[in-house]
Amino acid sequence: MCKYIIKIGKWLLISIASIIFILNLPWALIYLDMYTAPNPPKPEITYAEFPFKLEYELAGELFVVEDTLICEFDGFEVGGSEGKFRRWKLYLLSGKDRIILMQKEEIEIFVTAITLSRNGAKYYMGDPEGTYSEKYVSLPSAWYKKDFYDERENRYIFPAEEMWEKYKLRIISWEIADPIENTFR
Phi, psi of 67 (to 5 degrees): -155, -175
In the predicted model, what is the mean pLDDT of residues 165-175? 86
**pLDDT on residue 147:** 55
In the predicted model, what is the mean pLDDT of residues 156-166? 79
**pLDDT on residue 137:** 47
pLDDT, tens digit (0-9, with 9 covering 90-100), for 15-29: 887 888 888 777 766
**pLDDT on residue 45:** 97
Could you tell me if 52 and 174 are in contact, meaning their C-beta atoms sit under 8 angstroms apart? yes
Could you tell me if 86 and 76 are in contact, meaning their C-beta atoms sit under 8 angstroms apart? yes
Asked whether residue 71 is assigned to any structural domain, the reply reads yes
Could you tell me if 178 and 172 are in contact, meaning their C-beta atoms sit under 8 angstroms apart? no
- The H helix count followed by the E strand count for the chain is 3, 8
Residue 60 and residue 14 share a domain? no
Asked whether residue 10 is assigned to any structural domain, the reply reads yes
pLDDT, tens digit (0-9, with 9 covering 90-100), for 100-110: 888 876 677 77
Whole-angstrom distance, CA of residue 39 vs CA of residue 31: 15
Between 111 and 180, name the one with better pLDDT: 180
In degrees, rounded to 5, the angle at the alpha carbon of residue 123 between the alpha carbons of residues 117 and 129 is 95
Q: Tally the residues of the chain.
A: 185
Phi, psi of 34 (to 5 degrees): -65, -40
Q: What is the DSSP letter of 82?
A: G
Residue 25 and residue 113 share a domain? no
Asked whether residue 41 is assigned to any structural domain, the reply reads no
Phi, psi of 117 (to 5 degrees): 60, 175
Residue 109 and residue 30 share a domain? no
Q: How confident is the model at residue 1 (pLDDT cuts 50, 70, 90)?
A: low
Residue 64 and residue 23 share a domain? no
Query: What phi-psi label fits residue 131: left (phi over 0), alpha (psi between -120 and 50 degrees) or beta?
Result: beta
Residue 142 and residue 83 share a domain? yes
Asked whether residue 8 is assigned to any structural domain, the reply reads yes
Q: Where is 136: in which H helix or E strand?
A: none
Asked whether residue 158 is assigned to any structural domain, the reply reads yes
Asked whether residue 86 is assigned to any structural domain, the reply reads yes
Sign of torsion over alpha carbons 151, 92, 175, 73? negative
Q: Mean pLDDT for the chain?
A: 79
Asked whether residue 182 is assigned to any structural domain, the reply reads no
Q: Containing domain of residue 16, as a range?
A: 1-36
| Rounded percentage of the chain residues whose pLDDT exceeds 70 | 74
pTM: 0.72
Helix then strand then coil, % of the chain, to nearest 5: 35, 40, 30
**pLDDT on residue 70:** 92
In the predicted model, what is the mean pLDDT of residues 72-88? 84
Count of the separate structural domains present in the chain: 2
Whole-angstrom distance, CA of residue 103 vs CA of residue 115: 18
pLDDT, tens digit (0-9, with 9 covering 90-100), for 37-79: 888 999 999 999 999 999 999 999 999 999 999 999 999 988 7
